[in-house]
Amino acid sequence: MGRRQQTDGSLALEQKKVIVIEAAQRPEAQKLRVAAYCRVSSDSSDQMNSFAAQLNYYTTLINSKDNWTMADIYADAGISGTSAEKRPDFQRLLSDCRRGRIDKILVKSISRFARNAVDCLETIRALKAIGVGVCFEEQGIDTSEMTGELLTAMFSAIAQKESESISGNMRWSYRQRMEKGTFLPSSMPFGYKIKDRSIVVDEAQAEIIRRIFNSYLAGQSMDEIAAQLNRENVPVKIGKEDRKWLQTAISYILSNERYIGDSLWQKTYATDTLPARQIRNHGERQQYYAEATHAPIIEKEVYLAVQKLKSQRSKKYGSRNPYMENSLHKIIFCGKCGTPFRRKVCRGITYWVCHNHDNGRENCPVPQIAEEALRAAFLRIYHKLRLHGKSILKQMIADLQSVRERRMLWSIDIIELNKRISDINDQDRMLADMNKCGLVDPDIFISRSNELAQQLRAVKQEKERILGAECDDTIPRTRELMETLEALPEFLPVFDGEIFADLVVGITVDAGNILRFRLKNGLELTETAERSVR
């Protein structure tokens, strides 16, 4: 608008002519990419039918919406939803959301999504931050709405209470069976297997158990026994060919009452809060000892002789673990010159010193370290791992998986498999459209849907196999380290050589008494040792 002066001197607005230029093309409304998540039956015979039924339901539902398009359907087997880490397709769903492939997720109910309120809310917040909403059908909740998260917190708490109640009832049932002596564990140690709800001896593994007991009584150390089994490539467990025999495993076998046919139940117990964690029972819970619960592998006289010998060796060496001392000179290295450290005793104090430094301070400035300082530094590292290790290692796994996925994004094999997945999804959508219009016989529709579902799962499994084969073993070693930490005590008052050997593979000593502990998955943690005198 312009301005012109009126006769009274005031200004008046003057209307200007404006030409409107119509848009040549109007953008079409973008369809929401919708995914569905479900948990199918853990019964393998019914698993495919369950998946196919839910695949048909969600395919029909999503295709009935004009502004929706199918992204994918994610399904995990089993009924437990207390831990998101144990649901691979759930993790794949979150990964695809982070890649920007999904706008909305459909879930039957909150209990299908998560029974842990904290995990549920953290996941929903993370998804909302990247613009992905979760719609819970039973509760009628859509987290993309303002009040969705508040309602989700309430329903998650209800679902968690329900899960805690179920877990409590199961623990009560287990205790009742333990008191009656009829408890049957879900798994047995090396040497046994469960068949037709009975504990039976695995003769191939039992021979190895007898050999371990006889070798120890013959004078071999636990470290030497483990090393010999590894040299002979004796498998630790079926399906765990990459695992090695450890000194701690030999110690566990030699102390396990199961091999004389008895059972000590509740050596560990589950925490009351979710997700439940197994903790070693140091007297916090009752234990139950039952005799002759199954066939023995070792005679009781042999077992008692081994316990007596273990006790004698423990008293002879005191708190000092000979395995620990024999291994330290192989794993401690100087950060300045790379020379291995050697053990020496001076004025009754045990030290570890760089060989070059010991020959002359001018050869290397890195000083000697008292063995007690090394042990104290490890205890500080251990307590940090118990407090913060789980979150650090989880983030490490997530970062490694992200790097692996980026590296494989343009792999020819992966591209072809992605095309195949897209093609199967297209066929399934077309089949659903034909069924919706009544153009296909119901029996043919179900048969073809099942066939496509099988193909889809096979292609996705092949994709995961390739992704797994292309990465190093850091991720499985990190998961193994997390499992090891979970089984260890929360508080370690004194140095334990067996625990040290299970966690640490190397120590680098830098100037300033800086110690770098290298864990079994390659992660290095730094700690300052108390300064030694020299």
Contacts of 84 (CB under 8 A, 6+ apart): 90, 91, 114, 116, 119, 123
Q: Are residues 382 and 461 in the same domain?
A: yes
Angle between helix 442-470 and 44-63 (nearest 10): 110
Q: Are residues 70 and 112 in the same domain?
A: yes
Contacts of 54 (CB under 8 A, 6+ apart): 36, 38, 40, 73, 75
Q: Looking at per-residue confidence, does 220 or 531 come out higher? A: 220
Examine the fold and report which residue of 272, 298, 317 is the final residue of a domain before the chain moves on: 317
The DSSP annotation for 175-196 comes to HHHHHHT----S---TTEEEET
Q: Answer whether residue 176 is part of any domain.
A: no
Q: Are residues 128 and 203 in the same domain?
A: no
pLDDT value of residue 106 = 93
Q: Looking at per-residue confidence, does 407 or 235 come out higher? A: 235
| Band of residue 338 on the pLDDT scale cut at 50, 70, 90 | confident
Digit-coded pLDDT (tens) for 345-355: 888 788 888 88
The phi and psi torsions of 377 (rounded to 5 degrees) equal: -65, -40
Please state whether beta strands 524-528 and 514-519 pair in parallel, antiparallel, or not at all (unpaired): antiparallel
CATH number at residue 99: 3.40.50.1390
pLDDT value of residue 428 = 80
The DSSP annotation for 399-447 comes to HHHHHHHHHHTT-HHHHHHHHHHHHHHHHHHHHHHHHHTT-S-HHHHHH
Q: Answer whether residue 174 is part of any domain.
A: no
pLDDT value of residue 212 = 92
Q: Answer whether residue 23 is part of any domain.
A: no
Q: Answer whether residue 274 is part of any domain.
A: yes
| Band of residue 319 on the pLDDT scale cut at 50, 70, 90 | very low
* Helix (H), strand (E) at residue 512: none
Q: Are residues 163 and 95 in the same domain?
A: yes
Helix, strand, or coil here: 496?
coil
Q: Is the dihedral of CA 66, 68, 71, 74 positive or negative?
A: negative
CB 525 within 8 A of CB 516: yes
138 has pLDDT over 70:
yes
Q: Are residues 490 and 530 in the same domain?
A: yes
What average pLDDT does range 282-287 have in this prediction?
73
pLDDT value of residue 161 = 66
Which residues form the domain of 517?
Answer: 321-534
Please state whether beta strands 332-334 and 504-510 pair in parallel, antiparallel, or not at all (unpaired): parallel
310 has pLDDT over 50:
yes
Q: Are residues 207 and 220 in the same domain?
A: yes
C-alpha–C-alpha distance, residues 522 and 435, integer Å:
54
pLDDT value of residue 150 = 64
Average pLDDT of the chain? 77
* Helix (H), strand (E) at residue 90: helix 88-98
| Band of residue 147 on the pLDDT scale cut at 50, 70, 90 | low
Q: Looking at per-residue confidence, does 72 or 176 come out higher? A: 72
Q: Are residues 91 and 192 in the same domain?
A: no
Q: Answer whether residue 10 is part of any domain.
A: no
Amino acid residing at 491: F
pLDDT value of residue 533 = 41
Winning range, highest mean pLDDT, from 57-61, 180-184, 388-392, 397-401: 57-61
Q: pTM for the whole thing?
A: 0.39
C-alpha–C-alpha distance, residues 124 and 103, integer Å:
13
Q: Answer whether residue 291 is part of any domain.
A: yes
| Band of residue 240 on the pLDDT scale cut at 50, 70, 90 | low
Tokens of 430: 């077309």
The number of helix segments (H) and strand segments (E) in the chain equals: 16, 20
Tokens of 20: 């409107």
Pinpoint the alpha helices (H) of 104-221. 110-113, 117-129, 148-180, 203-217
Winning range, highest mean pLDDT, from 186-200, 206-220, 459-473: 206-220
The DSSP annotation for 34-70 comes to EEEEEEE-S-HHHHHHHHHHHHHHHHHHHHTSTTEEE
Q: Are residues 137 and 244 in the same domain?
A: no
C-alpha–C-alpha distance, residues 249 and 256, integer Å:
10
CB 117 within 8 A of CB 160: yes
What average pLDDT does range 137-160 have in this prediction?
67
C-alpha–C-alpha distance, residues 395 and 90, integer Å:
17
| Band of residue 315 on the pLDDT scale cut at 50, 70, 90 | low
The DSSP annotation for 248-305 comes to HHHHHHHH-GGGGT-EEE-SEEE-SSSSP-EEE-SSSS--EEESSSS--SS-HHHHHH
Winning range, highest mean pLDDT, from 126-140, 169-183, 393-407: 126-140
Examine the fold and report which residue of 167, 195, 210 is the final residue of a domain before the chain moves on: 167
55 has pLDDT over 80:
no
Q: Are residues 360 and 257 in the same domain?
A: no
Q: Are residues 518 and 501 in the same domain?
A: yes
Q: Answer whether residue 25 is part of any domain.
A: no
Cβ-based neighbour number of residue 345 at 10 Å: 9
Cβ-based neighbour number of residue 230 at 10 Å: 14
pLDDT value of residue 29 = 58
Q: Are residues 326 and 423 in the same domain?
A: yes
Phi-psi region of 455 (alpha: psi -120 to 50; beta: other; left: phi over 0): alpha
Examine the fold and report which residue of 317, 349, 365 is the final residue of a domain before the chain moves on: 317
| Band of residue 5 on the pLDDT scale cut at 50, 70, 90 | low
CB 103 within 8 A of CB 132: yes
- Among residues of the chain, what percentage have pLDDT more than 70? 74
Q: Answer whether residue 147 is part of any domain.
A: yes
Please state whether beta strands 288-290 and 263-265 pair in parallel, antiparallel, or not at all (unpaired): antiparallel
Opening angle at CA 152, ends 151 and 153, nearest 5: 90
62 has pLDDT over 80:
yes
pLDDT value of residue 34 = 93
Domain count, the chain: 3
CATH number at residue 210: 3.90.1750.20
Q: Are residues 139 and 191 in the same domain?
A: no
Amino acid residing at 430: M
